[in-house]
Amino acid sequence: MPTAPDIRDKRQQAILGILAKRPVARQSEFVELLLEDGIDATQSSVSRDLRELGITKLISGYEQIERPDALAMTVDIPTDYVRDVLTAGASLTVIKTATGAAQRVALFLDRSNWPEIVGTVSGDDTIFIATRNSREQKQLLGRIRSTLQP
């Protein structure tokens, strides 16, 4: 009889297989596709699996973003989407992105584990990045700008 970790691993592998084949827009769609493959799943188990696998819902649907531990300190900001980097005070940095790309860029920043970043808030084409003070903001700006250099 399979154990709970075995069942979870099988379900997670199936989720990765589904994403490799097609886009998925809703968690309920994952549940349906897993059931078609003979794998029992609930919305809550799928939600937990997605989080553990580093899969996030973006505008285009669910997509696997690298795990935070793999991104630590070496994040590659999706530079094609970044339009401008500005400051708005001593501890607030603003990144302007292509329309619809702010969430994707903010997710990379959130998972970067850069010590200067206290948190981010993103909209459709704008990201606000909070730092503790102006010194950390300068460090962050240097890090972002060096990442954006060709």
**How many domains, the chain?**
2
Residues 8-53 pLDDT 10s: 889 989 998 898 888 899 999 999 999 999 999 999 999 988 888 8
CATH code for the domain in which residue 28 is found: 1.10.10.10
> d(Cα 150, Cα 147) in Å, to the nearest integer?
8
Quote the pLDDT of residue 69.
47
State which amino acid sits at residue 68.
P
Q: How far apart are CA 18 and CA 37, in angstroms?
A: 10
Q: What is the pLDDT of residues 71-127, one digit of tens each?
A: 344 446 677 889 999 999 999 999 999 998 898 888 888 888 889 999 999 999 999
For residues 129 and 13, what is the distance between their CA atoms, to the nearest angstrom? 34
**Full-model pTM:** 0.53
Last residue of a domain, one of 29, 64, 99: 64
Q: Are residues 30 and 76 located together in one domain of the fold?
A: no
Same domain, 11 and 58: yes
